[in-house]
């Protein structure tokens, strides 16, 4: 029997690679004769860079850039296809996890460091970019990223504005004279794990602002500012981004890349699965194990396990999800190609100890699930 182990990361405890290896260990223990292939996956969030570089035999480059608060931070880009394609993971330079909770304030954070990483790829001669947007600390509409690439933003008095979320409501004009022209000569794929627009009730500010430290008053300020930026963007570029699906990813950076750099937004999991040539990997497999730290209703909205399950279903594979915990609405994934769900905890356990022993818990859950699957398969054959 051929089995594929293709989980996302278990955030805070296991990388996707570590999770895949733990699953493979459990499967082989239950079925020594099985052929198990490990394929770590991601959906555009943290860890996507590592998954793509590993799968495509790429290399890393490290740069000192600005973190969300303008402090220096070492961040990596990935290079694949002989350096032709550059991979920028926004979380590397502008990620929420770079800031302690007390410093998270989307009025004060900027995506400038992400722009510096994009510029580094252009300097290396990349003619294609994959930019992953998950895990950001910002709701600046992409002002920081654009500023790092040469754009300038002004208020009504023609005063230069700092590229921060707090500047959004004061926007009156943008100068693109010095915007890096290499952007338009580059094919840019924007890998997003959400479909939210920039503006409206499901927009970047009300949905993601609180996760990044925004108070209700900050959310209102940011929402008004993003609306103003969208109007200015339409006037300057002719591109209307208010309702663009995925435009609200990374606090509006998705929309900025579309309007100002000609980027195309795609589902993050589809970008990753295509880069991994997953359909070739699934051909001939009977069973697929996937998983993530928490599975809930949001998982059904294009997250990694469901994206993989939909591909697996097309190949006639059965899919088992191994998860750290279940949340409200998890049942929706059964309609998306996942056949069974196995929480990895065998007994009540506090979060800290569960995360510390996640590899052994995951391996044990894979063992139990595989034994059950083999037993049922044997009964069906009889």
Measured between alpha carbons, how far is 287 from 289 in angstroms, rounded to an integer?
Answer: 7
Q: Which residue spans of the chain are classified as CATH 3.40.50.10350?
A: 2-41+277-381
Angle (nearest 5°) at CA 167 between 161 and 173: 60
Domain 2-41+277-381 adopts which CATH fold? Rossmann fold (3.40.50)
The Cα–Cα gap between 356 and 339 comes to 28
Q: What is the DSSP letter of 318?
A: E
Cα-Cα-Cα-Cα torsion 310, 341, 267, 104, nearest 10 degrees, comes to: 180
Question: Which residue shows structure tokens 């479909």?
Answer: 195
Write down the pLDDT at residue 85: 97
Please give the full DSSP string across 37-103, using - where no structure is assigned: EE----SSSTTHHHHHHHHTT-EEEEEEEE-TTS-EEEEEEEEEGGGTEEEEEHHHHHBGGGS-GGG
CA distance 82 to 80: 5
The beta-strand segments (E) located in 212-344 are: 264-267, 287-295, 318-326, 340-343
Of 358, 274, 272, 368, residue with least CA distance to 320: 368
* DSSP of 139-166: -STTHHHHHHTT-EEE-TT-PBPPSSGG
**pLDDT in 10s for each residue of the chain, 382 residues:** 999 999 999 988 999 999 999 999 999 999 999 999 999 999 988 899 999 999 999 999 999 999 999 999 999 999 999 999 999 999 999 999 999 999 999 999 999 999 999 999 999 999 999 999 999 999 999 999 999 999 999 999 999 999 999 999 999 999 999 999 999 999 999 999 889 999 999 999 999 999 999 999 999 999 999 999 999 999 999 999 999 999 999 999 999 999 999 999 999 999 999 999 999 999 999 999 999 999 998 888 778 999 999 999 999 999 999 999 999 999 999 999 999 999 999 888 888 888 889 999 999 999 999 999 998 876 555 3
What radius of gyration, in Å, describes the C-alpha atoms of the chain? 22
Residue 12: per-residue pLDDT: 84
Architecture of domain 48-269: Alpha-Beta Complex (3.90)
Evaluate whether 260 touches 142 at the Cβ level (below 8 Å). yes
pLDDT at 378: 67
Residues of the chain with CATH 3.90.1510.10: 48-269
As beta bridge partners, residue 65 has 73
How long a stretch of residues is the chain? 382
> Could you count the other beta carbons within 10 Å of the beta carbon of residue 221?
21
């Amino acid at each position: 029997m051929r089995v594929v182990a293709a989980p996302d990361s278990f955030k805070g405890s296991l990388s996707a690679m570590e999770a895949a290896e733990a699953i493979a260990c459990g499967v082989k223990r239950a079925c020594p004769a099985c052929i198990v292939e490990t394929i770590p996956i991601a959906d555009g969030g943290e860890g996507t860079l590592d998954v793509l570089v590993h799968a495509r035999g790429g290399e890393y480059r490290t740069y000192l850039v600005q973190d969300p608060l303008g402090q220096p931070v070492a961040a990596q880009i990935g290079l694949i296809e002989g350096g032709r394609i550059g991979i920028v993971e926004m979380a590397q330079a502008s990620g929420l996890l770079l800031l302690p909770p007390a410093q998270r304030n989307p009025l004060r954070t900027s995506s400038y460091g992400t722009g510096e990483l994009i510029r580094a790829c252009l300097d290396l001669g990349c003619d294609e970019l994959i930019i992953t947007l998950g895990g950001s600390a910002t709701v600046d509409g992409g002002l920081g990223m654009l500023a790092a690439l040469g754009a300038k933003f002004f208020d009504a008095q023609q005063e230069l504005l700092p590229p921060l979320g707090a500047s959004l409501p004061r926007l009156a004009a943008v100068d693109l004279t010095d915007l890096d022209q290499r952007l338009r000569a580059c094919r840019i794929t924007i890998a997003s794990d959400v479909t939210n627009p920039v503006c409206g009730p499901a927009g970047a500010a009300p949905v993601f602002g609180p996760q990044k430290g925004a108070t209700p008053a900050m959310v209102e300020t940011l929402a008004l500012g993003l609306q103003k930026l969208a109007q200015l963007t339409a006037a300057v570029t002719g591109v209307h981004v208010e309702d663009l699906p995925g435009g609200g990813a990374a606090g509006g950076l998705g929309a900025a890349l579309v309007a100002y750099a000609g980027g195309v937004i795609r589902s993050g999991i589809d970008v990753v699965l295509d880069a991994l040539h997953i359909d070739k990997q699934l051909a001939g497999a009977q069973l697929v194990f996937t998983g993530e730290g928490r599975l809930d209703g949001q998982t059904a909205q294009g997250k990694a396990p469901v994206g993989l399950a939909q591909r697996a279903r097309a190949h006639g594979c059965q899919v088992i999800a191994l998860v750290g915990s279940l949340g409200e609405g998890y049942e929706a994934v059964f309609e998306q190609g996942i056949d069974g769900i196995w929480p990895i905890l065998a007994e009540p356990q506090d979060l800290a100890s569960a995360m510390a022993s996640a590899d052994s818990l995951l391996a044990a859950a894979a063992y139990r699930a595989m034994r059950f699957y083999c037993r049922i398969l044997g009964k069906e054959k009889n």
